[in-house]
Amino acid sequence: MNSLPRADVWANSNAHTTVLYRLQAEAEPDSLCRVLNQFALQMLTPHSVQVTQQDDWLAIDIGIGGLSWHRAEVIAQKLRNMVCVADVHLAPQHRVELSVVHA
């Protein structure tokens, strides 16, 4: 688990946020691994991943926190440059933290 957000040397003073990546990728056996590897290379662990196959495509939603908006955009551009990825949308995500109340 990431305890501290990785510093963004290009936008060090920017606030960190939680973002949602929505991708459409080819439904190939290695597509999901290739997409998730872009985050692993940055030492980032998504807090949520949802994948649905629709015909020859995978609809992939990835939620991740601790990024500056600049860094999130750089990762989105790297995803757009992948041959297996057809479309990438990036949006801020509001995470709801649930807590357990003991009675």
Q: How many structural domains does the chain have? A: 1
The residues that bridge with 67 in the sheet, in sequence order, are 17
Yes or no: say if 20 and 62 are a contact pair by the CB < 8 Å rule: yes
Answer whether residue 78 is part of any domain.
yes
The H or E element containing residue 33 is helix 31-40
Whole domain around residue 79: which residue ranges? 24-92
Determine the average pLDDT of the residues in 64-73: 92
Q: Round to whole Å and give the CA distance between 40 and 43.
A: 5
Answer whether residue 28 is part of any domain.
yes
Per-residue pLDDT reduced to its tens digit, 47-68: 999 999 999 999 999 999 989 9
CATH number of the domain within which 30 lies: 3.30.70.260
Q: Round to whole Å and give the CA distance between 35 and 39.
A: 8
Answer whether residue 97 is part of any domain.
no
What letter does residue 5 receive in the DSSP assignment?
P
Q: How confident is the model at residue 96 (pLDDT cuts 50, 70, 90)?
A: low
Answer whether residue 73 is part of any domain.
yes
Per-residue pLDDT reduced to its tens digit, 3-56: 555 555 555 556 788 999 999 999 999 999 999 999 999 999 999 999 999 999
Determine the average pLDDT of the residues in 73-102: 85
